[in-house]
Amino acid sequence: MPYVASENRYEGMIYRRCGRSGLKLPVISLGLWHNFGGDHPIENSRAMLCRAFDLGITHFDLANNYGPPAGSAEETFGRVLKDTLAPYRDELIISTKAGYYMWPGPYGEWGSRKYLIASLDQSLKRMGLEYVDIFYSHRPDPETPLEETMMALDYAVRSGRALYVGISNYSAEMTRQAAQILRSLGTPCLIHQPYYNMFGRWIEDGLTTVLEEEGIGCIPFSPLAQGLLTNRYLEGLPPDSRAVADGRFLTPDSITPEKIAKVRKLNELAVARGQSMAQMALAWVLRLPQVTSALIGASRVSQIEDAVGVVNNLTFSAEELARIDEILA
């Protein structure tokens, strides 16, 4: 049976305007960083993408290096788009990025115009797209002039390869500089994608102020701290966890007894709010007015369904926020 999207897909989701742009994003977006590469069954990837869309998630976030192997997440998404989601292309926001290592030699990573445009062309080919909705500089390049990187993003829009541009992993000061350069070129910076969660709050020290002043949206990645801010680790380190299977990003050493104790106390508050631990952690990220959407990862459909449940309770009392700060202190 061919896939037919749910007729009610927009009824339960909340959409927020991205900065001062005309674009709205769902408060929950789906990232394909993990579990969509060539080492995962495509049918599970297809099931997650379709269920996400049925629940009102219109934004799917990729990067050239997502996999493994690098590039395979875009290939998976391209296959699902062609076979299943193609009739809904104009309802989707598809983003990709370039900045990390992709091929050997001096032009295969960082922020040169040569690399960014070549990478974007490869990404479009892998996904079978004429354009992406958002193209990001995935990380700042310490050796390439910021003007060159921003001019490449501007060119991506002017050449029809992208509708909007964004940046990821940029400091507050570099974000301001990038925004000013892009504005002068006539292609505003739409969005910033930083690391942000209860255990990593660096954006509160300057970046959120810059985003507010420059009219840039924010879509934090790892809002659940790679799964730590879920019920997954309440009893310690499970043998089948990502930290055991793939310790590149969430390492066993980072899951300390002190952190587990904090997560247990946070979970008690989540239960009192009528939420799962993950839902409360997502609501906490979304409490900031600068945050447009929270970017989740998933390995199964049920995780997406749980995350979307956050829309039922996005508000915190002053007492609850104070209690969270007390637990995290």
What are the pLDDT tens digits along the chain (329 aa)?
899 999 999 999 999 999 999 999 999 999 999 999 999 999 999 999 999 999 999 999 999 999 999 999 999 999 999 999 999 999 999 999 999 999 999 999 999 999 999 999 999 999 999 999 999 999 999 999 999 999 999 999 999 999 999 999 999 999 999 999 999 999 999 999 999 999 999 999 999 999 999 999 999 999 999 999 999 888 776 766 656 556 556 777 778 899 999 999 999 999 999 999 999 999 999 999 999 999 999 999 999 999 999 999 999 999 999 999 999 99
**123 Cβ partners below 8 Å, 6+ apart?**
62, 64, 74, 96, 98, 132
Domain containing residue 93: CATH number:
3.20.20.100
Please give the tally of structural domains in the chain: 1
Cβ atoms of 241 and 233 closer than 8 Å: yes
Residue 162 belongs to some domain of the structure: yes
Residue 204 belongs to some domain of the structure: yes
**141 Cβ partners below 8 Å, 6+ apart?**
99, 110, 111, 112, 149
Range of the domain at 160: 15-328
Residue 6 belongs to some domain of the structure: no
CA dihedral 320, 325, 327, 329 (to 10 degrees): -170
Residue 133 belongs to some domain of the structure: yes
